[in-house]
Structure 1
């Protein structure tokens, strides 16, 4: 029996990153909201050090929360990206290869035209580019 790739408790880590990411993100938004309203609404005497720390620290806490969320959803994002790009990569590789494989949905690679050199479908009798008869 083969072991699954990844960490032993990978699902728990993902869930932990997602939950912590949301909690830290909400705390950072609240902290930044307090900091921005107190810094820009402090009047002529200027903001205190705590208000400036909330303003600047809130940005850092929001960034850390977003990073935790990214770690929690990294596998889902990678699977989505692979599902979107892999059919295009397969079609491109088949088009550039020696003709074995699928060019697109339902199209298999056929012969090259002897006059213009364009590859045609397997069931084509005439060239798609110049119209000459294929052997």
Structure 2
């Protein structure tokens, strides 16, 4: 199974359709909500050239806000995967450097390990060198059972 973001065989259902639907709904709600809210604000505070019932202007003023809020929420949910990948890509290198610094290169739970064990392992070391897959995004070699890259946080599946 090959999806647009390169996730293969992870066993989870595809969410591409739901993401696209949420993004479209979010844009539509914003396109409707912003002008309705703007017209409501203008009419409520200016009464300039408006002869209709005042309740309609107040309804537009108060009704536009939820439309805008729901539109922003739908866009947020529709882009949460991209946001998560961005945050992981920004934070993982810092986390790795911090783990290496705090543990004198031994790493914390395998993250940030910079000490070379050599072919048979050094005295007092944790064990063998990392032998898992390389990351397609940044080239860092990871543990055999790693699901995400220690370097950039990208999925290794």
Smaller-chain TM-score bracket: 0.5 to 0.7
Change (3 A) 1:109 1:73: same
CA distance in 2, matches of 1:62, 1:28: 5
In structure 1, runs of 5+ residues without a counterpart are 102-107, 111-135
The one of 98, 105, 126 aligned to 1:92: 98
TM-score of the two chains, using structure 1 as the length reference: 0.66
What is aligned with 1:61?
67
- Tell me the matched-pair count: 102
For residue 99 of structure 1, give the secondary structure of its aligned residue in structure 2: coil
What is aligned with 2:89?
83
Point out the structure with the larger helix share.
Answer: 1
Q: Max radius of gyration: which structure?
A: 1
CA distance in 2, matches of 1:75, 1:97: 31
TM-score of the two chains, using structure 2 as the length reference: 0.57
What is aligned with 2:40?
35
Conserved in 2, the CA contact under 8 Å of 1:95 and 1:109? no
What is aligned with 2:14?
9
In structure 2, runs of 5+ residues without a counterpart are 2-7, 108-113, 117-157
Supply the RMSD in Å over aligned alpha carbons.
2.7
